[in-house]
Amino acid sequence: MKQTITEQFDANAAELLAKHNLMNAVYAVLAIIFVGILLYLVRLDRKVSKIEKQS
Amino acid sequence: MNWKKHWYKWIAALFLLYVVLGGLFLPLKSGITGLSPVKITSGGSQTLKINVYNAPWLKENAFNDKEIGQGNYQIPTKVMLVSKGTMGKFQTTAIKFSGDHGQLLASMNLNMGSSKLSNEYYSVFIELSNGKYLGLPEAIYLERGANDTAGKSDFIAEENTQARGDREIFEMSFPNRMVLNESVRNLFYHVPMWFAMLALLGMACWYAIKYLRFGHLEDDMFADSLVRVGILAGILGCITGATWARVTWQSWWPAADPKLNGVAIGMTMYFAYLLLRSTLTDPYQRARITAVYSVFIFPIFIALIVIMPKLSPNSLHPGSGGTVGFNKYDLDSTMRLFFYPAVIGWIALYYWIANLRYRIATLKEKELNA
C-alpha cells in the first residue's frame, strides 16, 4: 500500500514527537534559573568585597 | 536561631527542595500523544496508529500476560472515536501492538452508511480493562467517503457518552498533554518566575508609596533592591519561556502572542527605571522621582502582562483568549500540590536575595557617609 503525503507527514510527526524527549526542556529551564541566580549572587559577592576593601 | 526573622528563608529552602524533587520525579499520567492519520475518509475497515505515553501495559508485554486485567495489569479493551456534535461513537476491540514502542494499532469499520452523520472532529478514547480511559479530544477529522452513502452504519448512537465525563481517581501524577508532554513540569519553574517578579515589583510599589508618605531613605533603597531582583526574575522568566516555547510552540519568541509583547514593553519600562535612577545623584531627589515613576508603571505593567493577554483572542498562553488554564486539565489537583508551594518558595527566595542586596546597599551608603 502506498502512503499518501499526508500519511507520511503524520507518521513523521508521530515519530518526531516520540523521539523528542521534552524532559530536556525541563532540565534546561532549571539550569537557566540556577545559572541566572548564581551570576547575580556572584555580582553581589563582588560588591561586598569592594566594600570590605574600602573599610 | 531566630525563627521570626528567618522564616521566609526556611520557606524558600524547604519549599523549593520539595518542588524541585517532586516536580522532576513524579511520573506523568499515561496519555495519548499522537495519532496517525489525523484525517480519515469513511468507508470500510481502517487502521489507526495511536501513540501512547507512559502506559504501564506498554512496558510489559501485557498482551501475553496471564494476569491481564487483574490488579496492576491493565490492557486496552476498546478504542473509540467519539463524536462531538452527534452523540455517539465508532468503536472496535481489534487492537494490537505495532511493534514500535508505545504504539497501538486499532482496526475499525468506519461506515457512515445511510445515517445522517456530518463530517466533523472525533475524540479518540482508549478504554482500559479497569474501566478507565485515555483520551485525546477532537483528534481526528472524519469525512464521508464517496462510496459510503448507503447501507448499514457502524456508528453507535448514544444519549450520553460516558467516556467524556469520566474522571480518574486520585493518583500522584501530572496530567499528560499533547505538545507539552513532559515539559508540563516547567509550570513549577517558568511560571513562578513571573509570579515572583509581580510580587517583588508589587512590594517595591508599596515601599515607594511608603517613602513618599514618610520620607525615609531606607524605604527607597529597599524598593530599589526589590525592583532590581524583580527584573532578574523577569529576565529569567523570559529566557526560560523562550526555551520552553522553542520545543513546544516551535519558536523562540512567537511574536503574535500578546503576553510576550506585553512583557517586552513592561520590561523596557523597568529598564528605563534603572536608567532614570542611574542619572540622578542627589539621594532625596533620586528617591522621590524613582518612587513616583515606579508607582506609576506598576499598574501599567499589570495591565500589560495580566489583563491585556486575557482580553486578547489569540494568545498561546494558558488561561487567556481561547486557551484554557492549567486548572482545566489538572483534574486531581496533583499540579496544585506543587504549583502553589513553587510560587511561595520562589517568591521567598527572590525576597531573600533582594534583602541581601538591600543590606549591601545600606553598608555601601554608610561607607560613603563615614
Confidence band (pLDDT; 50, 70, 90) for A1? very low
Radius of gyration from C-alpha coordinates of chain B: 27
Closest residue, chain A, to B229 (C-alpha)? A40
**Cβ–Cβ gap B102/A18 under 8 Å:** yes
Q: 3-class SS at B80? A: strand
| Sign, Cα dihedral of B144, B145, B150, B154 | negative
**Cβ–Cβ gap B38/A7 under 8 Å:** no
What is the DSSP annotation of B306-325? Answer: IIHHHH-S---STTSTTSPP
**Domains of chain A: total:** 1
How many whole angstroms separate alpha carbon B166 and alpha carbon B131? 9
Torsion of CA A36, A38, A41, A45, to 10 degrees: -130
How many whole angstroms separate alpha carbon B295 and alpha carbon B208? 7
Contacts 24+ apart (CB under 8 A), B74-78: B74/B128, B74/B129, B74/B130, B74/B132, B75/B128, B75/B129, B76/B104, B76/B126, B76/B127, B76/B128, B76/B129, B77/B127, B77/B128, B77/B129, B78/B126, B78/B127
Residue A46 resides in a domain: yes
- Cβ atoms of B233 and B196 within 8 Å: the answer is yes
How many whole angstroms separate alpha carbon B152 and alpha carbon B344? 59
CATH classification number, B31-165, choose in 2.60.40, 3.30.70, 1.10.3470, 3.30.750: 2.60.40
DSSP state letter for B79: E
**What residue type is assigned to position B188 of the chain?**
F
For residue A29, the distance in angstroms to the closest alpha carbon of chain B comes to 5
Residue B107 has a CB neighbour count (10 Å cut-off) of: 15
Place of cell 527605571: B273
Res B199: pLDDT: 96
Res B328: pLDDT: 54
Residue B167 has a CB neighbour count (10 Å cut-off) of: 9
For residue B215, the distance in angstroms to the closest alpha carbon of chain A comes to 26
- Cβ atoms of B27 and B54 within 8 Å: the answer is yes
Residue A52 resides in a domain: yes
- Cβ atoms of B109 and B131 within 8 Å: the answer is no
- Measured CA angle at B318 (ends A27, B51), to 5 deg: 65
**Cβ–Cβ gap A17/B367 under 8 Å:** no
Q: At what angle do helices B217-248 and A23-54 cross, to 10 degrees?
A: 150
Closest CA relative to residue A32, chosen from B45, B39, B74, B238:
B238
Q: How many CB pairs under 8 A join A and B?
A: 100
How many whole angstroms separate alpha carbon B274 and alpha carbon B234? 14
Nearest to A47 among B243, B349, B360 (CB): B360
Closest residue, chain B, to A40 (C-alpha)? B232
Whether omega for the bond prior to residue B37 falls within 30 degrees of 0, making it cis, is: yes
Place of cell 462531538: B84
**Cβ–Cβ gap B243/A29 under 8 Å:** yes
**What residue type is assigned to position B109 of the chain?**
N
- Cβ atoms of A51 and B360 within 8 Å: the answer is yes
> Mean pLDDT in chain A?
75
Q: Which residues of B touch A7 (CB under 8 A)?
A: 36-37
The torsion angles phi and psi of B93, rounded to 5 degrees, stand at -115, 0
Which positions of chain B have pLDDT values less than 50? Answer: 60, 62, 65, 69, 161, 163-171, 321-322
CATH 2.60.40 residue window(s) in chain B: 31-165
- Cβ atoms of B302 and B195 within 8 Å: the answer is no
Nearest to A40 among B100, B180, B232 (CB): B232
Residue B37 or residue A43, greater confidence: A43
User: Could you report the predicted ipTM of this complex, rounded to two decimals?
Assistant: 0.73
Pairing of strands B31-36, B88-92: unpaired
**Cβ–Cβ gap B51/A14 under 8 Å:** yes
Burial of B183 (0-12, 13-18, 19+ CB in 10 A): buried
Nearest to A22 among B102, B103, B183 (CB): B183
Res B121: pLDDT: 82
Q: 3-class SS at B61? A: coil
DSSP state letter for B331: T
**Cβ–Cβ gap B183/A26 under 8 Å:** yes
pLDDT over 60 (residue A8): no
Nearest to B33 among A17, A48, A51 (CB): A17
**Cβ–Cβ gap B363/A24 under 8 Å:** no
Alpha helices in chain B (DSSP H): 3-25, 56-59, 162-165, 191-214, 217-248, 258-279, 283-302, 308-311, 334-369
Q: Looking at chain A from residue 1 to 55, which residues have their Cβ under 8 Å from any Cβ of chain B?
A: 6-7, 10-11, 13-14, 17-18, 20-26, 28-30, 32-33, 36-37, 40-41, 44, 47-48, 51, 54-55
Res B169: pLDDT: 39
**Which residues are registered as beta bridge partners of B291?**
none
- Measured CA angle at B39 (ends B127, A4), to 5 deg: 120
